[in-house]
Structure 1
């Protein structure tokens, strides 16, 4: 399988075509990730963060989740640099200057030029940043229209909000848990 490790390389399988739905790992959703991955549509993506774990535990958990995700035909992207993604066997890296970038405003969207995709957030209120200002649907669409790369909606997203937003790509931390 071809791999994409950084925004400097041409997007390749499985990041092209870019998955429509992404599950993002976090300390608070770790207990349900195995089950959530098994419920994800084939061809979705996993962005593995797990910054809370010591390096050895983080890598072991990555391997376990990647095995489940790959069994579902999912892309597996590692939060970190391209070299780490390559060593760990990820399909790409997530972070500034990587295959998947993140943005909160127009300046950051412009910095994502060359990435396979950019997560634009927060669209709606989110547990990650309670009380923080949100883009809302209109501002999200205005910013996304200015992006030179595919945009993935993030922030307070779940299946119902994705349907309301009518955006082709979205990601969630809590919104893809088995209880949503």
Structure 2
């Protein structure tokens, strides 16, 4: 069973997978600093293919001592040997040894993540992103206002790059395109 880090030990840098960055994931994972975080989403794959891709990336992730988090349910997370699970705050099951990383886009979801005992939350989209073309973004002011409502660590997501993280003044951030 993986050792669950304390909130202050959570990685500062997180890479999220999707169909757009699949071809460059191996290189991105190798070049990220050791003990970064990786959220495996890969919603575009059928279940058997998704599991196969998970297994292919696991050796790279483990060689860099990254955390490997599955977007999915707690039972699957345990079965696959994930360090944690990622998803909406109301759908994160409780399983000993699994990090529970919630997605949040507004105050209601932050409240749910706090109340349901998530270990951290990904607050998004901070900036416009290709994941949601034409969709709204929080912007710096609203991001900080919402993040202040969280009692758990906040990870900025959505249009993030190292430069934007510095400008935003955040320690923990995540990206799809910005890291791949």
Q: Which residue of 23, 31, 36 maps to 2:28?
A: 36
Give 3-state SS (helix, strand or coil) of 1:59's partner. Answer: helix
Alignment of 1:144-155 (within 5 A): 144-155=147-158
Worse overlay, 22-31 or 63-72? 63-72
Change over 3 Å in CA distance of 1:15–1:84 after alignment to 2: farther
Q: Partners of 1:133 and 1:103 in 2: how far apart? A: 14
Match of 1:169 in 2: 172
Deviation at 1:13, TM superposition (A): 3.1
Listed as ranges, the gaps of 5+ residues in structure 1 are 4-11
Alignment of 1:50-89 (within 5 A): 50-89=42-81
| 8 Å CA contact 1:15, 1:91 repeated in 2 | no
Per-residue CA deviation, residues 8-59 of structure 1 (Å, 9 max, x unaligned), is xxxx238762111100000111000000000111110000000111111101
Q: TM-score, normalised by structure 1?
A: 0.90
Deviation at 1:173, TM superposition (A): 0.6
Per-residue CA deviation, residues 123-178 of structure 1 (Å, 9 max, x unaligned), is 0010111221111111101110110111000000011111111101000011001x
Match of 1:115 in 2: 118
Q: Partners of 2:168 and 2:30 in 1: how far apart? A: 25
Alignment of 1:108-147 (within 5 A): 108-113=109-114, 114-147=117-150
Q: How many residues align?
A: 169
Per-residue CA deviation, residues 75-118 of structure 1 (Å, 9 max, x unaligned), is 00001011000000000111124300101100010111211110
| 8 Å CA contact 1:156, 1:175 repeated in 2 | yes
Listed as ranges, the gaps of 5+ residues in structure 2 are 93-99
Deviation at 1:122, TM superposition (A): 0.5
Q: Partners of 2:108 and 2:157 in 1: how far apart? A: 17
- For the pair 1:25 / 2:17, whether they are aligned, the reply is yes
Richer in helix (by share): 2
Q: Partners of 1:128 and 1:88 in 2: how far apart? A: 26
